[in-house]
Structure 1
């Protein structure tokens, strides 16, 4: 029996080789392109995933996990064919344990769907990468987002996992306990592994209480240095910001045009506080004083829910807003992270580099943790534009490393940043390859990603 016959017997019409399904799973959110899977599978249970993995292992068929398809570095593209495992049918909340402030979910559920299910509990899941990504994909890429400055990233949110290994073995990592000192931290190993070590089929996630009060503000500054100095003093003062986001003048202009806002087109901070009415008011007042001391202009509070919603809707729409600023363009989206003390230098050098290139490149980011992005807008039919943008992105990556940072704060490696791994990790990168070989000796799981190239 062929692998396709065995998989068809296992999944019925939820296993397909139809061109439309294969093509839909060969797309990327950005410029990164890759191969076409030979087939697409839509499992509904962990048992089906385990059986699928055993069949593919027996036939040495590559397997690539797929969540919502929102990754930006080509993580889920089938470089060597094989079977793309689409988890959209595994999208249930399995268990809400409000008293323990945790939830068990299947990997295909999105963060927005989970938070809808949690509304009646008084709890919420805070990691917010902007896109309505699947939680399995967010764990696989160690996603972050606008709330990381207070609530952390997926590294902090995932307490345990159920994972199907390359030979079909099902393991559980972590537990529902708040902490553990029992053995290797396998949960941390799989979070951020980009599907190269196993297929995540269940997640235990840490939840947080929905804040009683929320207050948001927007303020501008004359220079990037003033903006970052304001952020540093805010952090050092111990103010518990829930979000603090940065947009450069080009990004503000794009968002104004796209969302109908009238924000001053200067370096801009968007900040939000969570807590009780009294604590939020105190935090807001203190932040206003700090911002004013660093020369802020156009300071404006958004205390009404509809005003806050409009503000963050604008921020979350920044990517399509930037694309709309150059009609017909596509984007090379960069993602670097540096120590907060180096952020102003990193952004100013990047802005100067972009200005000299002739390519538009609005900059925005999660300034509270030193993470920022340039949206390099290129004519998709211009090889010159593409080459210029890739050179800009490469200089951003090496600049981040020079300043003590990393080539990716949240988007991950995928295909797009594989070439920087040796430079960032040195002798540690082959160690990652050794872990991959130990868990996946046939190199079946998402081959061609994250670790040094090797043959089974």
Structure 2
């Protein structure tokens, strides 16, 4: 990345007057905020501001605007595509201390949270209401980051992504104005859909300081299970048939044999080293029973082994924690490695072909790379384990990623189902949508942030 000028002393003095010791320029704090889970080298900011309320965000953004200082919003730091790296230096705005669940309207099934609230924290606050929030990216991500990246997760096949589950945002724009994008009503035809504009904008248009989200009643009956298959194709075909028959699966996760080996070692699960599907069924007792019978029949016809059930909350938690920990489990397959992680999403009719072709490509390359996926909605992930110091290995992983994205785009899919564009997939965004569409995004960015201070360098070149 290009070098950048140091922060003006007047800017630092003004920010110190506002935040005191919550403004840090220490090397350790800057270095921590200059890394994420991506393969990129560290890109530390020049300073880190720890804010506690909307007024402090407004004042900080106005100072950044005055002095033309880049500003990078930061939540849990779990990005996989370089979203929170300070590519142009400047100030990282740490929002973790804005961690209050502001309101829960249980009769309306909504909740309003600050950006530092995590999904687990909201669900803990909802525990006595009979409601839950379903969007669950693998990490315990914060709502600010989940809105910024349009996150989803294992429940998306039933409950949708952040796009469907955010009703309203309060955002501080690049000039320090506080705007709301909607109300708590479940639908609206009032003007441009500003909520959807900011959901997925990756911090390039403003800083989310509040989010109002949908919540859902806890199901009467929940059953989870795993089922082994002789090969990838039969597992994925079982998913495709279940979806096409209209089974309302709550979760349907594919885990290949390499990932199962990692899960067994990390989570002590003892599953056979074969491709698996992880299922969860929600509904009434009779509805869940019907779903289970139909899916079992489909899996048995495809060569699936007997279902292993997780009926109690404790058993389900253990099962899904094992699935969510796949990323960290895979890292232990090659100690000291780094991950080049990628994801694509394709129409469900193309899923089996895309996964099979990808598995074949990985096998021929010799790359150690588990495949997992939220295959109920056509989304899957590849985690390529590389020696970060080996240019040849990193380049081989990037070539595999490029072939995977090209494969998905040829099937009318997308270059990223949930990770986002960040620094990593900017060229693929043009391949997917075309230069004219990306130029419209640039025009929106220029209109809202003419000095390019909001997370510059992400999604596209300004």
Q: Scaled by the length of structure 2, what TM-score is found?
A: 0.96
Aligned match of 1:103: 111
1:449 aligns with one of 433, 438, 458: 458
State the SS of the aligned residue for 1:160: strand
CA contact (8 A) 2:168 2:195 kept: yes
1:229 aligns with 2:225: no
How far apart, CA to CA, are the structure 2 residues paired with 1:114 and 1:33? 33
Aligned match of 1:334: 342
Which stretch has the larger CA shift, 130-139 or 253-262?
Answer: 253-262
1:350 aligns with one of 347, 358, 364: 358
2:45 aligns with one of 22, 37, 48: 37
1:22-68 Cα shifts (integer Å, max 9, x gaps): 11100111312352211111111111111111111011111110000
Aligned match of 1:430: 439
2:89 aligns with one of 81, 88, 91: 81
CA contact (8 A) 1:111 1:132 kept: yes
How far apart, CA to CA, are the structure 2 residues paired with 1:124 and 1:328? 37
Q: How does 1:78-157 map to 2 (within 5 A)?
A: 78-157=86-165
State the SS of the aligned residue for 2:450: coil
1:372 aligns with 2:380: yes
1:257 aligns with 2:268: no
1:411 aligns with one of 412, 419, 430: 419
1:439 aligns with one of 430, 438, 448: 448
How far apart, CA to CA, are the structure 2 residues paired with 1:298 and 1:111? 33
How far apart, CA to CA, are the structure 2 residues paired with 1:418 and 1:366? 23
1:112-155 Cα shifts (integer Å, max 9, x gaps): 11111110111111000010000110000000100000010000
After superposition, the Cα gap between the structure-2 partners of 1:421 and 1:34, relative to the gap in structure 1 and judged at 3 Å, is farther
How far apart, CA to CA, are the structure 1 residues paired with 2:324 and 2:306? 21
Tell me the CA shift for residue 350 of structure 1. 1.0
Aligned match of 2:185: 177
Aligned match of 1:271: 279
State the SS of the aligned residue for 1:335: strand
1:363-398 Cα shifts (integer Å, max 9, x gaps): 010010111111101122222211111111111111
Tell me the CA shift for residue 280 of structure 1. 1.7
CA contact (8 A) 1:415 1:449 kept: yes
CA contact (8 A) 1:34 1:74 kept: no
Tell me the CA shift for residue 216 of structure 1. 0.8
How far apart, CA to CA, are the structure 2 residues paired with 1:220 and 1:374? 20
How far apart, CA to CA, are the structure 2 residues paired with 1:269 and 1:292? 13
How far apart, CA to CA, are the structure 1 residues paired with 2:373 and 2:309? 20
How far apart, CA to CA, are the structure 2 residues paired with 1:201 and 1:302? 38
How far apart, CA to CA, are the structure 2 residues paired with 1:320 and 1:63? 30
After superposition, the Cα gap between the structure-2 partners of 1:385 and 1:333, relative to the gap in structure 1 and judged at 3 Å, is same
How far apart, CA to CA, are the structure 2 residues paired with 1:19 and 1:253? 38
How far apart, CA to CA, are the structure 1 residues paired with 2:49 and 2:124? 27
Mind listing any 5+ residue stretches in structure 1 that lack a counterpart? none
State the SS of the aligned residue for 1:397: helix
After superposition, the Cα gap between the structure-2 partners of 1:433 and 1:34, relative to the gap in structure 1 and judged at 3 Å, is farther
How far apart, CA to CA, are the structure 1 residues paired with 2:81 and 2:40? 6
Aligned match of 2:28: 20
1:400 aligns with 2:418: no
CA contact (8 A) 1:34 1:79 kept: no
Tell me the CA shift for residue 349 of structure 1. 1.1
Tell me the CA shift for residue 404 of structure 1. 1.1
How far apart, CA to CA, are the structure 2 residues paired with 1:54 and 1:262? 55
Q: Scaled by the length of structure 1, what TM-score is found?
A: 0.97
State the SS of the aligned residue for 2:238: helix
How far apart, CA to CA, are the structure 1 residues paired with 2:355 and 2:401? 13
How far apart, CA to CA, are the structure 2 residues paired with 1:165 and 1:60? 14
1:47-102 Cα shifts (integer Å, max 9, x gaps): 11111111110111111100000010010111111110000110001111101000
How far apart, CA to CA, are the structure 2 residues paired with 1:327 and 1:83? 33
Aligned match of 1:191: 199
CA contact (8 A) 1:196 1:449 kept: yes
State the SS of the aligned residue for 2:55: helix
Tell me the CA shift for residue 223 of structure 1. 3.0
State the SS of the aligned residue for 1:203: strand
Aligned match of 1:218: 226
State the SS of the aligned residue for 2:158: helix
1:53 aligns with 2:61: yes
Which stretch has the larger CA shift, 304-313 or 185-194?
Answer: 304-313
State the SS of the aligned residue for 1:297: coil
